A and B are shown apart, each in its own frame.
Chain A
Amino acid sequence: MLGFVLRRLAGAIPTIFIVVTIAFFMIRAAPGGPFDLERPLDPLIMQNLNAAFHLDEPLWRQYLLYLGNLLQGDFGPSFTRRDFSVADLFAVGLPVSVTLGGLALSLALVVGASLGVLAALRQNKGADYAVVGIATFGITIPNFVVAPILSLLFGVWMGWLPAGGWGTPAHMVLPVVTLALPQIAIIARLTRGATIEALRSNHVRTARAYGLPTRVVVVTHTLRAAILPVVSYLGPAAAALLTGSVVVETIFGIPGIGRYFVQGALARDYTLVMGTVVVIAIFVVIFNLLVDLAYALLDPRVRYER
């Protein structure tokens, strides 16, 4: 098992390297630079700034410089937030995004899976139709609609929760719900489908034939098989949620790292964009690995020993 994990992590290094390379040259290909503002700078000052940030060197050398720094764990200084390094920004933003994404994911898993199982057990009855209906609704309504509506409803009109901001647990409720809603919908649908299939499988029929109580049949024998597609979905979903959502963070005014990707790209803050790309790439690699490991635990057919 350990050997498998190590092999996978080693295999991730070229992937991340390629991602970094492509991202580096793509953001540099965009016209303009971090110091091109509506009010242009004096050429002399521009020169001083470019020198300070090594922007006056040939691109290949900047690339090697960046790679070298990255290998030492140095994301470099931010071009547009000059009181902070990219690492400083992540040190503040990443825990926020991970908290938000983690809570949303947990909520989505609990609610989505429960609804999915419920729907499967009542297949083609009212409850099933309701769950499928709500799920479709949840998937189709985008975050940027849900977020302001929740904020208006619970923050402004009813005044139960803060309309935005970050700091206390109360501040987390609306953004977590907003982020979780589409995930609840997706997880509910996945669970429902997989549970229905599992309920029809041979081992469940056998368990029933033994006269085991429904609860045992569902919990012990059905769910374990039914949860597999959800687990494979959770890998990339977790990577996306934990690295922050631009929309939710902007609308609720949350200091996570999701906003940095867009802010960085628009302001041509090269190091900030690269930093977010690297962090997202690492999360994707890690969560795909976790999914594979979870498979080994859940599915007796999958074994990673040599």
Chain B
Amino acid sequence: MIKTMLKASALSLALAASLGVTGAPAFAQEVVYNRGNDTDPSSLDPHKTSTVAEAHVLRDLFEGLVVYNAAAEVIPGVAESWETSEDGLVYTFRLREDARWSNGDPVTASDFVFAFRRIQDPATAAGYANILHPIKNAEAINSGEMPKEELGARAIDERTLEITLANPTPYFIELLTHQTGLPLNQASVEEHGDAFTRPGNLVSNGAFMLDSFTPNDRIVMRKNPNFHDAENVQIDVVNFIPFEERATCVRRFEAGEVQSCSDLPSEQITELRERLGDQVRIAPYLGTYYLPVKVTKEKFADPRVREAMSMAIDRVFLADEIWQGTMVPAYSLVPPGINNYVEDAPTLEYADVDILDREDRAIALLEEAGVAAGELTVDLRYNTSENNKNTMTAVGEMLRNIGIESTLTEMEGATYFNYLKEDGDFDIARAGWIGDYNDPQNFLFLYESDNLGFNYPRWANEDYDRLMQQAETETDLAARAEILAEAERLFLSQVPAIPILYYTSKALVSPKLEGWEDNIMNVHGTRFLSLSN
């Protein structure tokens, strides 16, 4: 027995020794980009997706009417040009002649009509169908009140697409950059049904096409030779690798096995910056982290109490110390740098006041509201995460400075958001919002009184609702921006939710990977990137 044991261990040693050789990349001539992603997409059917990680994958596979370039500016995609009617309701898109599916078929206007009808069809159960509700009759179709043929999108000819909107929606072109605006190859979807997303079945029109999808391992995409701009696509193969464990991506990045990571382990930020220098990319992102306050509870009914709490929160400390500079102090709901907004966007008026003075003012406000020191106890609720916990602990300490006691309650993710949505009995919670499209409406709609999915505090303000209504029908962009700013000023004076931090996007980008521009939408289409040796 010992003999066979020795043989076996000798064998395993020899095996281990030979591995160093087989580990080397085999195809030197192909440019292969190993791209870290947050998670696997839940589907490659754009209509069944909603997350940022999914958007990264779909952006490479498909091309919509318009796309984001490397700097996240809207540029023509399948549409080469478009016109808008006087009243802002009818958009006419002229499709480029050389737009092709990966099987060589031309991309036609009816492919878009097919996709837009499919996403509104209740049978598709698309979670993000509401992004395209500005299209005429979309909402009615989505709720099963109208046949999908009634949708305000029609193919005038193969290369002309006409979209009619219900209301002028100044951000409509911006909306079309979202994955809900992607076309589908009608023939392949009809032929394969639910299986149309499988490798071998999936027909796509982006810079890349699907080669294979191994869950928890990688999605392999190859350059699409039929793509209209294929000559400028520098990368032959992209492997999207999911990293739920961010530190794993960092190790593989440092070992040279992946060329970019889509996120960083927040506890290692300082150390990573020291070690990797400008390979660590931290950029402002279109997102806000805020604390909804249950305004329907008597103890929070007085806006002065909410304002006092907001004043006492030292956002700079939270951003720099708790989040190690991976968040930015926030004094408004709508993040800075957004499109279609006023020059001097509204902020909390005490943004620049020293924190000690703010505490004094907060104490005075509480007194005015009839709340004595130590009288008010609030429960701070958050979903499980080290950073959320630290943030809420610090917020509790800050509230104590103005005589408000606090307790902490942690809940696990799936339970937590269900609880908030179902009008759970919380005091102060945390929530975050990353914009789907670059427009203030995408943040301000969160607190419309009928938005029961996101308006966790159940704040209802008629003036706010009226302003939001007004903005929806205003076609003049500057006037609309003023109305939206008015709504935000109202929001900030009432603070039904306390904005505390703006998100940043965090990434690791190898110096070999060129063309990666930091941008507020955190979009980095692989077609704009190149790899050097």
User: Do the two chains belong together in a single complex?
Assistant: yes
Q: Which residues of A approach B to under 8 Å, CB–CB?
A: 30-33, 35-42, 44-45, 48-49, 52, 80-84, 89, 92-93, 106-107, 110-111, 113-114, 117, 148, 151-152, 155-156, 159-166, 168-171, 173, 215, 218-219, 223, 249-256, 259-260, 263, 266-268
Nearest CB of chain A from residue B349's CB, rounded to whole Å:
30
B20 at the interface (CB under 8 A from A): yes
Q: Are B414 and A168 in contact (CB under 8 A)?
A: no
Q: A42-B453, A107-B12 are in contact. List 16 more A-B contacts (CB 8 A).
A: A31-B415, A32-B418, A36-B415, A37-B50, A42-B127, A49-B125, A81-B40, A83-B213, A92-B215, A161-B23, A162-B252, A163-B254, A164-B251, A165-B257, A168-B19, A215-B2
- Chain A residues whose CB sits within 8 angstroms of the CB of B419 once the complex forms: 31
Identify the stretch in B223-231, B241-249, B295-303 within 8 Å (CB) of chain A at 4 or more residues: B241-249
Instruction: Count residues of chain B with CB under 8 A from any CB of chain A.
Output: 62
Question: Given the complex of chains A and B, what is the CA–CA distance between A117 and B216 in angstroms?
Answer: 40
Q: Are A168 and B22 in contact (CB under 8 A)?
A: yes
- Chain B residues whose CB sits within 8 angstroms of the CB of A117 once the complex forms: 2
Question: Given the complex of chains A and B, what is the CA–CA distance between A254 and B245 in angstroms?
Answer: 12
- Cβ contacts A to B, 12 pairs, < 8 Å: A37-B417, A39-B50, A52-B125, A84-B215, A93-B215, A148-B247, A156-B255, A163-B252, A170-B22, A223-B1, A254-B216, A256-B216
Q: Which residues of B approach A to under 8 Å, CB–CB?
A: 1-2, 5, 8-9, 12, 15-16, 18-20, 22-23, 40, 42-45, 48, 50, 122-123, 125-127, 129-130, 142-144, 197-198, 213-217, 241-245, 247-248, 251-252, 254-257, 412-415, 417-419, 421, 431-432, 453-454
- Find B9's partner among A32, A39, A111, A255 (CB 8 Å cutoff): A111
Q: Are B197 and A83 in contact (CB under 8 A)?
A: yes
- Find A162's partner among B42, B48, B255, B453 (CB 8 Å cutoff): B255
Q: Are B417 and A162 in contact (CB under 8 A)?
A: no
Given A168-B19, A255-B214: A42 and B130 interface contact (C-beta under 8 Å): yes
Give the nearest-CB partner of B122 in chain A. A48
Question: Given the complex of chains A and B, what is the CA–CA distance between A259 and B43 in angstroms?
Answer: 18
Nearest CB of chain B from residue A40's CB, rounded to whole Å:
4
Most buried by B among A48, A160, A162: A48
Give the nearest-CB partner of B9 in chain A. A110
Question: Given the complex of chains A and B, what is the CA–CA distance between A263 and B39 in angstroms?
Answer: 11
Given A252-B248, A255-B217: A110 and B23 interface contact (C-beta under 8 Å): no
Q: Are A156 and B45 in contact (CB under 8 A)?
A: no
- Chain A residues whose CB sits within 8 angstroms of the CB of B40 once the complex forms: 81
Q: Are B217 and A166 in contact (CB under 8 A)?
A: yes
Q: Are A114 and B251 in contact (CB under 8 A)?
A: no
- Chain B residues whose CB sits within 8 angstroms of the CB of A36 once the complex forms: 414-415, 417-418, 421
- Chain B residues whose CB sits within 8 angstroms of the CB of A111 once the complex forms: 9
- Chain A residues whose CB sits within 8 angstroms of the CB of B248 once the complex forms: 151, 164, 250-253
Give the nearest-CB partner of B2 in chain A. A219
Nearest CB of chain B from residue A232's CB, rounded to whole Å:
19
Q: Are A266 and B413 in contact (CB under 8 A)?
A: yes
Nearest CB of chain A from residue B240's CB, rounded to whole Å:
12
- Find A267's partner among B2, B20, B242, B414 (CB 8 Å cutoff): B414
Q: Are B19 and A83 in contact (CB under 8 A)?
A: no
Q: Are B257 and A44 in contact (CB under 8 A)?
A: no
Nearest CB of chain B from residue A29's CB, rounded to whole Å:
12
Q: Are B127 and A83 in contact (CB under 8 A)?
A: no
Give the nearest-CB partner of A118 in chain B. B2
Question: Given the complex of chains A and B, what is the CA–CA distance between A219 and B6 in angstroms?
Answer: 13
Given A83-B213, A163-B257: A44 and B142 interface contact (C-beta under 8 Å): yes
- Find B415's partner among A30, A156, A259 (CB 8 Å cutoff): A30
- Chain A residues whose CB sits within 8 angstroms of the CB of B245 once the complex forms: 250-251, 253
Nearest CB of chain B from residue A160's CB, rounded to whole Å:
6
Question: Given the complex of chains A and B, what is the CA–CA distance between A39 and B49 in angstroms?
Answer: 12
Q: Are A114 and B5 in contact (CB under 8 A)?
A: yes
Q: Are A162 and B418 in contact (CB under 8 A)?
A: no
- Chain A residues whose CB sits within 8 angstroms of the CB of B9 once the complex forms: 110-111, 114
Q: Are A41 and B127 in contact (CB under 8 A)?
A: yes
Question: Given the complex of chains A and B, what is the CA–CA distance between A268 and B144 in angstroms?
Answer: 28
Nearest CB of chain B from residue A212's CB, rounded to whole Å:
15
Q: Are B243 and A253 in contact (CB under 8 A)?
A: yes
Q: Are A164 and B143 in contact (CB under 8 A)?
A: no
Nearest CB of chain B from residue A82's CB, rounded to whole Å:
4
- Chain A residues whose CB sits within 8 angstroms of the CB of B414 once the complex forms: 30-33, 36, 266-268
- Chain B residues whose CB sits within 8 angstroms of the CB of A45 once the complex forms: 122, 125-127, 129, 142
Closest 5 CB pairs of A and B: A170-B23, A255-B217, A32-B414, A48-B125, A163-B255
Nearest CB of chain A from residue B392's CB, rounded to whole Å:
17
Nearest CB of chain B from residue A200's CB, rounded to whole Å:
20
Q: Are A152 and B251 in contact (CB under 8 A)?
A: yes
Give the nearest-CB partner of A34 in chain B. B414
- Chain A residues whose CB sits within 8 angstroms of the CB of B142 once the complex forms: 42, 44-45
Nearest CB of chain B from residue A152's CB, rounded to whole Å:
6
Q: Are A148 and B251 in contact (CB under 8 A)?
A: yes
Question: Given the complex of chains A and B, what is the CA–CA distance between A253 and B43 in angstroms?
Answer: 20
Question: Given the complex of chains A and B, what is the CA–CA distance between A33 and B415 in angstroms?
Answer: 8
- Chain A residues whose CB sits within 8 angstroms of the CB of B215 once the complex forms: 81, 84, 89, 92-93, 255
- Chain B residues whose CB sits within 8 angstroms of the CB of A223 once the complex forms: 1
- Find A80's partner among B1, B42, B417 (CB 8 Å cutoff): B42
- Chain A residues whose CB sits within 8 angstroms of the CB of B257 once the complex forms: 155, 162-165
Nearest CB of chain A from residue B524's CB, rounded to whole Å:
21
Question: Given the complex of chains A and B, what is the CA–CA distance between A279 and B75 in angstroms?
Answer: 50
- Find A165's partner among B5, B20, B241 (CB 8 Å cutoff): B241
Q: Are B2 and A114 in contact (CB under 8 A)?
A: yes
- Chain B residues whose CB sits within 8 angstroms of the CB of A166 once the complex forms: 217
- Chain A residues whose CB sits within 8 angstroms of the CB of B125 once the complex forms: 45, 48-49, 52
- Chain B residues whose CB sits within 8 angstroms of the CB of A41 once the complex forms: 127, 453
Question: Given the complex of chains A and B, what is the CA–CA distance between A164 and B242 in angstroms?
Answer: 12
- Chain A residues whose CB sits within 8 angstroms of the CB of B130 once the complex forms: 42
- Chain A residues whose CB sits within 8 angstroms of the CB of B22 once the complex forms: 168-170
Question: Given the complex of chains A and B, what is the CA–CA distance between A114 and B3 in angstroms?
Answer: 11
